Chain A
Amino acid sequence: MSVCSLKPYAIEPKDSRDKFPAPLLFIGWEHHHMFCAPVCIPVPGQTIFRTFTDEILQEIYGAHPEFTSIDWKAVTWLKSGKVFTPRFDFSLAENGLGHKDVIRFKTPGLNGIKGSNS
C-alpha cells in the first residue's frame, strides 16, 4: 500500500495537462551547464519543430557563445533518454511530444566554455 493514511482520501495530481495553457516541455542542452539545469516551458503542440529550434531554442540558449555554431543537421536528440529523430517540418505533437515530455539535444564538437561542459 503506497498511501499511508488513516482513511481514504481523494488524490488530485497538481500538474495535469488541463491546468496549463499549453503542454509543458522540458528541454536540456547536453554538456552546456552555463544553463545549469534543463528548462521548463509551456509550448503549443502545433508548433512546427523547425520553428521550435529556430525561434524558441534561440531565445532560450542564444546567450551562449557556442549557440550560433550549432549545426542542426548534426545534432542528436533524446526523448526520455532514448534516441529520438524529430521530423523538422512536423509539429511537436506530430513528433510525439506531449505534456511533461523531456527532450535533450547533443551538439557534437561543441563542449562548452573552454571545453568545460558549461
Chain B
Amino acid sequence: MDAIVKRKKIGLKQRYQTMTRDLAWQTSYQDMDKVFPYDKYEGIVVHDWDEWEDPFRLTMEAYWKYQGQKEKKLYAVIDAFAQNNGQLGISDARYVNALKLFIQGVTPLEYCAHRGFAHVGRHFTGAGARVAAQMQSIDELRHYQTETHALSHYNKHFNGMHESNYWFDRVWYLSVPKSFFEDAMSGGPFEFLVAISFSFEYVLTNLLFVPFMSGAAHNGDMSTVTFGFSAQSDESRHMTLGIECIKFLLEQDPANVPIVQRWIDKWFWRGYRLLTLVAMMQDYMLPKRVMSWKEAWEMYAESSGAALFKDLERYGIREPKGWKDACEGKDHISHQAWNTFYTYNAAAAFHTWVPNEEEMEWLSEKYPETFDRYYRPRLEYYDQQHKEGERFYNKTLPMLCQVCQIPMFFTEPNDPTSICYRESDYRDDKYHFCSDHCKEIFDNEPEKYIQAWMPVHQIHQGNCFPEGTDPTVDGFDPLAAVLEYYRINVGSDNFDFADSEDRRNFMEWRGGEEPEVSP
C-alpha cells in the first residue's frame, strides 16, 4: 500500500490565483482582439488588467459551499411557510400586491442580470473581471429561482402572479424595468458594469431591497424575508464589484473619465426613474409601513450618495446630473405613481385602492408640504366616487416618455402643478420625454431610442391583440382585446382591491373578518 502523502495545503491567496487568473492565457492562434471583440469599442482604455482588484477572493469551490448552505436554510423556511399556511399570517391581503409587483417587475430583472453578467463574464479580456462577473451571473440566476420559489406559494392563493414571465415581455408598465435592463445589456460590457454594478447595485440597490425585505418582515411574510437574508451576502459582493470596477476604470486612463461620467449621469437617472415603482409600493402598498419613500431616499441616497461622490471627486467625477432633481422628486413621485396605477387599474395585474383614513394621516405626516395640498383631495374624491358606484378608471392610453417608458406623469422640478414636457426632433419625427435627463439620454444616442418598443404605440399599431383579431368589426373593444392578449384575467387580476376576489377570499380564510392594521 502506498504511504499516505500529506500534501501541503495551498493558501487562500495562491488557490485563488490558481483557480482564477491562471485559467487565462494570451491566445496565439487567434488575435486576442478577435477572441475578445467587445472590450475596446466603447472607447474605454485599459492598460493593465492585472491591476483589477477582486472584490472577494472567492474561488468557485468556496462559492458552491457557501451558496449551498444558504439554500438549505432558505428552502427549509419556504417549506415550513407553505406547510403552516403562512399566507394566513400576513397583515392584510393588500400586502400581496407588493409581492405581485415584485414577481412581475423585479424577479425577471434577476434573470436579465444573469444573462447580462454571463455575457460580460465571457467578454472581458481580464480574467479577474471575468470570474467576478461569472459568479455574479450565477448569483442572479439563483435569485431569480429562489424568488420564484419563495413566491410560488402565494401564487396558489392569490391572483396576479400566474403569468409573470409572460407579462414581463408585454404588459405596458413592465416595459419600464424591461427596457431599463435591455438598454444596459445592449450597451458594451463596460457600460453594463457602470449601469448595473455601479449605478444600480452600488448607488441605488438599498432603496430596492430594504423596502421590500423590511416590508415583508413588517407584514408577516417570513418566506420573503428569508429570501432577503439569503441574497444579502451576494448583494454586498455585487456592490463591491460595482465600486471596484468604477475605481479600476478611472485609474486606468484619464480618457475614461468623461465616458464614465456620462454613463453615471445616464444610469443614475435610469435607475432613479425605475425606483418610482418602489417609492409607490413603500408609501401605498404596505399595510404596515416601514418608512416613507422620502425617508428612505434621505437615508440611503442623500447621505450615503453625497459621501460617495465626494470620495470620487479625486478621480474627476462629479455627482450625477440628475441628482438635484431626484432629491426634489422625493416629495412627489410615490403619489404620482399611485395615481397612475389607481386610474389605469383596469389594465394592471394587481389591485389598487384609496388609502384609509389612518393611512392618509400617515401620508400627511410624512409629506407635510405636499400630501394634503396636492394629493389627498383627489384620493378623497375617488373614494367618494367609488362609494357611489362610479369607481374612476381612465380609459385612454397615456403618453409615455421615449426613454424611461413611464407615463408622462412627472411634474416640473419645483412646480408640482405642471406636467414636465420635453421633446427632440430626430430625422422625420418628434420624440417626447418626462425630464431634461431622459431627453439628454436620448440626444446622446437617438438611434438607439427611436427603436424602443413603446407599449402604447404598439397597441395603436395593432400589435397587441390576440392572433386573428379583426379590429374593424362592429363593436370591437380594443381594451378587452389587449387584456386578452396580455392574459390578464378581467375581474380577478385587475380592478380595485375593494371589489377583488383576493379580498373576499382572505376575509373568508380569516373567519369572515377584515384584518385591522395600522400603518
A residues at B contact (CB < 8 Å): 2-6, 11-17, 19-21, 24, 26, 28, 30-31, 33-42, 59-60, 63, 65, 80-81, 99-102, 104, 112-118
Chain B proximity of A7: nearest CB distance (Å): 9
Q: How far is A117 from B448 in the complex, measured between Cα atoms in Å?
A: 36
A residues in contact with B476, CB < 8 Å: none
Stretch from B24-32, B457-465, B497-505 forming part of the interface with A = B457-465
CB contacts (< 8 Å) of A104 on chain B: these are 421
Chain B residues lying within 8 Å of A41, measured Cβ to Cβ, are 396-397, 460
* Nearest opposing residue in chain B for A65, CB measure: B381
Q: Judge whether B209 is part of the interface by a CB distance below 8 angstroms.
A: no
Tell whether B377 is near chain A: CB-to-CB under 8 Å.
yes
Known: A4-B42, A34-B381, A104-B421. 9 other contacts (CB 8 A): A4-B43, A4-B188, A13-B450, A24-B457, A35-B343, A36-B398, A37-B419, A40-B399, A116-B374
> Contacts A6-B37, A31-B418, A118-B377; is A15 near B409 (CB within 8 Å)?
no
A34 touches B392 (CB 8 A): yes
Contacts A4-B41, A100-B432 given: A36-B397 contact, CB under 8 Å? no
Chain B interface size range: 35 or more
Known: A11-B450, A114-B377, A116-B378. A34 touches B399 (CB 8 A): no
Residues of B431-449 whose CB lies within 8 A of A: 431-432, 444-448
Within the assembled complex, what's the spacing in Å between the Cα atoms of A116 and B380?
12
The answer to whether the Cβ of B423 comes within 8 Å of any Cβ in the partner chain is: yes
Chain A residue at minimum C-beta to C-beta distance from B390: A63
In the bound complex, what is the Cα–Cα distance between A104 and B187 (angstroms)? 35
B416 contacts the other chain (Cβ, under 8 Å)?
Answer: yes
- CB <8 Å contact, B460 and A80: no
| Contact partner, A101, options B343, B430, B457, Cβ 8 Å | B430
* A residues near B84, Cβ cutoff 8 Å: none
Contact B428 A118 (CB under 8 A): no
Known contacts A36-B407, A117-B417: does B428 contact A16 (CB below 8 Å)? Answer: yes
Residues of B within 8 A of A (CB): 37-38, 41-43, 187-188, 336, 339-340, 343-344, 373-378, 381, 392, 394, 396-400, 407-409, 416-419, 421, 423, 427-432, 444-448, 450-454, 456-457, 460-462
Residues of B within 8 A of A33 (CB): 336, 339, 378, 409, 419
- Residue picked from A26, A33, A65, most chain B C-beta under 10 Å: A33
List of A residues within 8 angstroms of B41 by Cβ = 4-6
Residues of A within 8 A of B452 (CB): 14
Known: A3-B445, A34-B378. A14 touches B399 (CB 8 A): no
Within 8 Å CB of A100, what residues of B?
429-432
Measured between beta carbons, the chain A residues less than 8 angstroms from B339 are 33-34, 36
Query: Could you tell me if B378 and A113 are in contact, using CB atoms closer than 8 angstroms?
Result: yes
Would you call B460 and A30 a contact (CB within 8 A)?
no
Alpha-carbon gap, A33 to B381, bound state (A): 13
9 closest Cβ contacts across the A-B interface?
Answer: A118-B378, A116-B377, A37-B407, A114-B377, A39-B396, A37-B398, A38-B399, A13-B450, A36-B340
Contact A30 B429 (CB under 8 A): no
Listed A/B pairs (13) with beta-carbon separation below 8 Å? A2-B445, A3-B445, A4-B42, A17-B429, A33-B336, A33-B419, A34-B378, A35-B343, A36-B336, A40-B456, A41-B397, A117-B374, A118-B381
Q: Which residue of A lies closest to B462 (CB)?
A: A21
B445 touches A14 (CB 8 A): no
What's the nearest-Cβ distance from chain B to residue A104, in Å? 7
In angstroms, how far is the closest chain A Cβ from the Cβ of B421? 6
Are B447's CB and A11's CB within 8 A? yes
